Amino acid sequence: MNKARALSGIQPTSGSFHLGNYLGAVRQWVALQESHDTYYCVVDLHALTAGIEPAKLAEATLASAAQLIALGIDPNKSTLFIQSHVPAHNQLGWIMECITGFGEASRMTQFKDKSAKSGSDRTVVGLFTYPMLQAADILLYQPQYVPVGEDQRQHIELTRDLAGRFNSTYKETFRIPEGYILKAGAKIFDLQEPTAKMSKSSSSTAGLIELLDSAGANTKKIKSATTDDGREVKFDEVKKPGISNLLTIHSAFSGQSISAIEADFDGKGYGDFKAAVADVVTAHLDPIRERTNELLQDKGELTRLLKIGSEKAAAVADETVRKVYDAVGLIPRG
């Protein structure tokens, strides 16, 4: 039986993924490879909307692909590729822009938040059309599912609306995809500010565990994580957000239940607990960092794998563009 197709994308905005990216998304992408026909894309064109420096973008794109492989995305099981290597994304992106209402695009909350922060003169148009490029990323591959975090729900809704609109305006062309909202089970918070989501954009990096950082640096960050009053290792998100976050992290890596970990640390203090969390985390991240570095040292092999992925992706995407162009009345070159 054919497996259902799933597609997702991740932005290469930094040299290293952090724990939130991994536990919140990539780990679930890895699991989906077994049951689904998976397409995973490093969305470098989207990263351009953040005004990233050229050298940084190039480095982050390769580092993202290498980390995905090191984390378990298997290029033999998934189609792993770089967005800009498949020009069909831009081709369909434009068509999507031509069927999106200005008001509709203006209501995207991510655009509103980001543009409100920088002011309209410093907001690029690419940020405004970002969701239409994302719709193209998705619809090109006719996936059934789009595994993403809760924050992408509105973009998926727009994608569904655009697919339905295209189908009814022109011709039945797209499968209407469903969001597959990833379990928030492993929602990871900032170590310093345990009520805010762990994110690249937080004010300091002291609360951020980066996958490619040294074991020493990450141990130090975990040991200086904000804890709470009292000295009991107990899960209580309201009264003990710091300890609860560390319990979530421990459990995500060790596979032990929260209550088993609480029992282990019964009568012991925060210090012992933090040292144990640091051990569990670094034991898991050490081999991932090593594998990533190996891949980055052998760019030939990484490039070869990505080329295979983009060729597979382009074959599917080009076929969709051909149908779309035909449906809207763009004539073939002949």
Q: Which residues have a catalytic role annotated? A: 114, 197, 200
Name the residue with the smallest CB distance to ligand TRP: 9
If the CB atoms of residues 134 and 292 are measured against ligand TRP, the closer one turns out to be 134
- How many residues are recorded in the chain? 334
Q: Determine the residue type at 78.
A: S
Q: Is there binding between residue 182 and ligand TRP (CB under 6 A)?
A: no
> What letter represents residue 283's amino acid?
A
User: What number of chain residues touch ligand TRP (CB under 6 A)?
Assistant: 13
Q: Note whether 310 binds ligand TRP by CB under 6 A.
A: no
Nearest to 292 by CA among 17, 84, 20: 17
Query: Applying CB under 6 A, does 11 fall inside the site for ligand TRP?
Result: yes
Instruction: List the interface residues with ligand TRP, window 15-74 (CB under 6 A).
Output: 43, 46
- What one-character DSSP code corresponds to residue 24? I
Mapping DSSP to helix (H, G, I), strand (E, B) and coil, where does residue 50 land? helix
Beta bridge partners of 80: 40
Please give the residues from 78 up to 137 whose contact with ligand TRP meets the rule CB under 6 A.
Answer: 134, 137
In the three-class reduction of DSSP (H, G, I as helix; E, B as strand; rest coil), residue 39 is classed as: strand
Of the candidates 216, 293, 211, 226, the residue with the CA atom closest to the CA atom of residue 20:
211
Residue found under tokens 């290469």? 12
In the complex, minimum distance from the CB of residue 93 to ligand TRP, in angstroms, rounded to a whole number? 10
Scanning 5-13, 31-39, 49-57, 98-106 for contacts with ligand TRP by CB under 6 A, the matching segment is 5-13
**C-beta separation of 96 from 328 below 8 A:** no
Determine which residue in the list 8, 100, 129, 248 makes contact with ligand TRP, applying CB under 6 A: 8
**Contact residue for ligand TRP among 52, 82, 92, 146 (CB under 6 A):** 146
Could you count the other beta carbons within 10 Å of the beta carbon of residue 23?
21
Is 9 among the residues that bind ligand TRP (CB under 6 A)?
A: yes
State the minimum distance, in angstroms, from the CB of residue 298 to ligand TRP. 27
Query: CB-wise, 7 or 19, nearer to ligand TRP?
Result: 7
Biggest CA pair distance of the chain: 77
Footprint of ligand TRP (CB under 6 A): 7-9, 11, 43, 46, 134, 137-138, 146, 148, 152, 155
